[in-house]
Amino acid sequence: MRLFKKISLPFLASDINQYLIVLFVIALTALLCRPLSNQQGYYIVSFILLFVVSIMAVFLGIGPILLASTASSLVWNFFFIPPHYALHIERTEDKLMFGSFFFIALINGVLTNRIRRQEVLALEREERTNAIFELTRELSNTSGIKEILDVAFKDVKKYFDAASICFLKEKENTFEILARKGKENDNIRMDYKIAEWVFKNSIKAGRFTEFYNETGLTYYPLTGKRLNPGIVTIEFEKRLSEEKEIFWIGYLAQISNALERELLSELALKARLLGESDKLYKTLFTLISHEFRIPIATIMGASDTLLISQTTDLNRTDLFNEIFKASARLNHLVENLLNMSRLESGKISVHLDWCDVNDLLNKVTRILKKELENYNLKSSIPVEMPLVRLDFGLMEQVIYNLILNSCQYTPSGSIIMFNADYIDGYLVIIVEDNGAGFPPELLDRVFQKFFRVDNSKAGGLGLGLSIVKGLVEAHKGTVKVENQQNSGVRFTITIPTGIPDMKQIKFDQ
Amino acid sequence: MSEFETILIIDDEVQIRRLLEITLTSNGYKTLIASDGKEGFTSAATHHPSLIILDLGLPDIDGLEVLVKLREWFTRPIIILTVRNSEDDIVHALDKGANDYLTKPFRSGELLARIRTAIRLNAEKADMPVIEFGSLRIDLINHVVRKNDEIVKFTATEFSLLSLLAKNQGRVLTHQFLLKEIWGYSYLEQTQYLRVFIAQLRKKIEEDPSKPELLITESGIGYRFRD
């Protein structure tokens, strides 16, 4: 009598209640009709009883309705048809009347009940269609396996009387539970052998099925056109009706579709990333072989000359100088590659310590002494500039790369400006030059790996600025680049930092 | 002084060993070669070299471990060789008794300067009363510093920091070592003290405090008074 749960009259839920109600209602009607029959005759009572049975047919199951029909006939006969208080009927028309009453009550009750049942079935069907539609709609708006499964499992308990449901995905020849809803202990009872069998054969198995039915769970394969997303295990409270089973299979198909779509797009993304990294490798190899070949050629050529020929002392010094310069360039390339790979692999750890920005700049200008010989480096750091918390070594590389970049991209004699200040909790460093600036259309690409402005005299791998960006971001800061109004490029670094409480520092006399 | 000094090279890379060997012998040192930690121990124990150049990346034993074991009995200078971007290892090695460090690739001039400094500092048992550097003259006994013959005034802390660096002229001193020596153990993390006082020292002794030539910053490691 599950169907009648739809009409929310809870006291009708149990069969026994329904039979008791039938008896009670018939008895009550009979009692009330007693005075009426004295005045109007007993035929009127039969109509009233028929009416009451019809009403009950709307709400009650077929069993109670059969009882109602029989009981009402007997009650009418026993209490109302003369002779009263006897089942015996004297008059032939009364006998006929009784027969037709019983028949009408039966037909009436059964028909009303059937209409009602049809209606409930139609309602249920509509509800299922809606449920599937709703599921499809919601699934189309979700992305990610977890989210899909969340949506998919949300109403399973409500629709299918399931105690628990799990999604298993194959992973390295075994299965892992990617999502679960309901009772927790199903993990223990999960039989991965059955799961594997179901996955391999794409046939349902487990409880209420033909295979492996001595278990508490039912295993359903999720199948797709191009790949099989996995397995759903469900713990039903009772066997599904045929219609419910169809509903359930439809429901699973939607889940399966959504998962397949997601898995395929993941695969596509992986393939694209692979393709991209493949492209990157090719760029890298071309670039590296090109960039490395020049200094290597210099070193080989120069040392070969030194070995085989009797050059003058002056030429020897020149050749040695060339070898030294070429190896310095090689070293710089390797440093940049190493730094980039450390940044990319997240292996850079930032050791924050109090730093004097003056010291930072001094250090860099010392290292870049040779490169800066032909440039005019000006700096502006306020006298009251506080100490800031930075990783000295990493920030040294940042400043080094920015100043070196300016040296490489501007003609000799250019002015390079270094400004630092502490503004509202931020260290702001500006490095600018009065060179030609970047072509405006390339500005938003200057921090990209392996990006180089064509025809630059610099050469290099195009890693310097992307290392700057990586290191500044490792400090939770930002770096931006812009062309200045008049000429030249400006890099602005902003890093959040505290400053020390100078009052605490004890100065002696 | 360096005429007959013997230097033990512990490094597993043949090319670096040969380079060091050539550089050192052509500058008047005798060399001993070890290609791993075990060989290094044996050679150090047998020959008592004047100085050891130790690569931190050895195939058999971790370089730091070799350093610690050597320091159990070897009191002469040890200079470590390491790759760049390994400030932590360097500071660790310096704390464990290494006298100085060089990062690969290094310049031969720098290597020779480090060796000279280390051997000199090791030989000078008695404190020099006066240290002179260019126009700067530090009288350690009377606590007087003159620059271009004019007396420069220092506070007590400033002077102890300056004299500590100057006495170890040419040698790198780690942040932690300086903080511990000047301010004490409870100040080991207070690097801001060091930054402030170094900046003050530079203002007083450098020709151009924005281009320090005497007090050299060693990124992430410490400071060195120029040799």
Asked if pLDDT for residue A2 goes beyond 50, the answer is no
- The domains of chain B are located at 6-123, 130-225
β-bridge mates for residue A493, sequence order: A429, A479
pLDDT of residue A427: 95
Q: Which of A221, A205, A207, A216 is nearest to A169 (CA)?
A: A221
B5-25: pLDDT as tens digits: 899 999 999 999 999 999 999
Closest CB to A393: pick one of B87, B155, B193: B87
- CATH of region A353-503, choose from 3.40.50.2300, 3.40.50.300, 3.30.565.10, 3.40.50.2020: 3.30.565.10
Q: Which CATH superfamily is domain A145-268 in?
A: GAF domain (3.30.450.40)
Mean pLDDT of A211-228: 85
B33-48: pLDDT as tens digits: 999 999 999 999 999 9
Q: What value does the mean pLDDT of chain A take? A: 84
Q: What pLDDT band is residue A9 in, cutting at 50, 70 and 90? A: low
Strand pairing category for A489-496 and A426-433: antiparallel
pLDDT of residue B68: 93
pLDDT of residue B125: 59
Single-letter amino acid, residue B224: R
pLDDT of residue A445: 85
Q: Which of residues 1-40 of B touch A (CB under 8 A)?
A: none
Residues sharing a CB contact under 8 Å with residue A256, sequence separation 6 or more, in sequence order: A222, A223, A224, A229
Asked, as a colleague might, if the bond just before B129 is cis with ω within 30 of 0, I would say no
A187-196: pLDDT as tens digits: 557 788 888 8
Residue B24 Cα, gap to closest chain A Cα (Å) = 19
Asked if pLDDT for residue A80 goes beyond 80, the answer is yes
pLDDT of residue B104: 86
The CB-based long-range contact list for A474-481 (8 Å cut-off, 24+ gap) reads A474/A343, A474/A348, A474/A350, A474/A391, A474/A394, A475/A350, A475/A390, A475/A391, A475/A394, A475/A395, A477/A427, A479/A447, A481/A438, A481/A443, A481/A446, A481/A447
Query: Judging by beta carbons within 10 Å of its beta carbon (0-12, 13-18, 19+), is residue B61 exposed, middle or buried?
Result: middle
ipTM score: 0.83
- The fold of B130-225 is Arc Repressor Mutant, subunit A (1.10.10)
Q: Is B222 on the interface with A (CB under 8 A)?
A: no
Please give the share of chain A, as a percent, with pLDDT higher than 90. 16
**DSSP string of A356-392, one letter each residue:** -HHHHHHHHHHHTHHHHTTSEEEEE--TTPPPEEE-H
With CA atoms as reference, the chain A residue closest to B104 would be A331
pLDDT of residue A4: 43
A338-386: pLDDT as tens digits: 888 888 887 788 889 999 999 999 999 988 888 899 999 999 999 889 9
- The domains of chain A are located at 2-134, 145-268, 353-503
Closest CB to B192: pick one of A327, A365, A500: A500
Q: What pLDDT band is residue A436 in, cutting at 50, 70 and 90? A: confident
Pick from A210-219, B67-76, B139-148 the range whose average pLDDT is largest. B67-76
A383-404: pLDDT as tens digits: 889 999 999 989 999 999 999 9
Question: What is the architecture of the domain spanning B6-123?
Answer: 3-Layer(aba) Sandwich (3.40)
Please give the share of chain A, as a percent, with pLDDT higher than 70. 94
Asked if pLDDT for residue A184 goes beyond 80, the answer is no
Q: What pLDDT band is residue A120 in, cutting at 50, 70 and 90? A: confident
Structure tokens at A171: 């992973």
Q: Look at the block and give the residue holding tokens 């390797």.
A: A334
Mean pLDDT of B54-73: 91
Asked if pLDDT for residue A8 goes beyond 60, the answer is no
DSSP designation for A440: G
Which residues of A fall below an 8 Å CB-CB distance to B?
Answer: 327, 331, 335, 338-339, 342, 351, 353-356, 358-359, 361-363, 365-366, 379, 387, 391-393, 396, 500, 502, 505, 507-509
Q: Are A38 and A97 in contact (CB under 8 A)?
A: no
User: Does residue B78 or residue A151 have the better pLDDT?
Assistant: B78
**DSSP string of A153-216, one letter each residue:** HTTHHHHH-EEEEEEEEEETTEEEEEEEEE-STHHHH--HHHHHHHHHHT--EETTSSSS-SSS
Residue to test with chain A: of B19, B82, B85, most A Cβ within 10 A: B85
Residue B199 and residue A356: Cβ atoms within 8 Å?
yes
Which has the minimum average pLDDT: A85-94, A413-422, A495-504? A85-94
Mean pLDDT of A432-448: 86
Closest CB to B195: pick one of A362, A366, A387: A387
CA distances from B29 to A196, B21, B32, B124 (A): 73, 9, 10, 19
- Residues on chain B touching A358 (C-beta within 8 angstroms): 199, 209-210
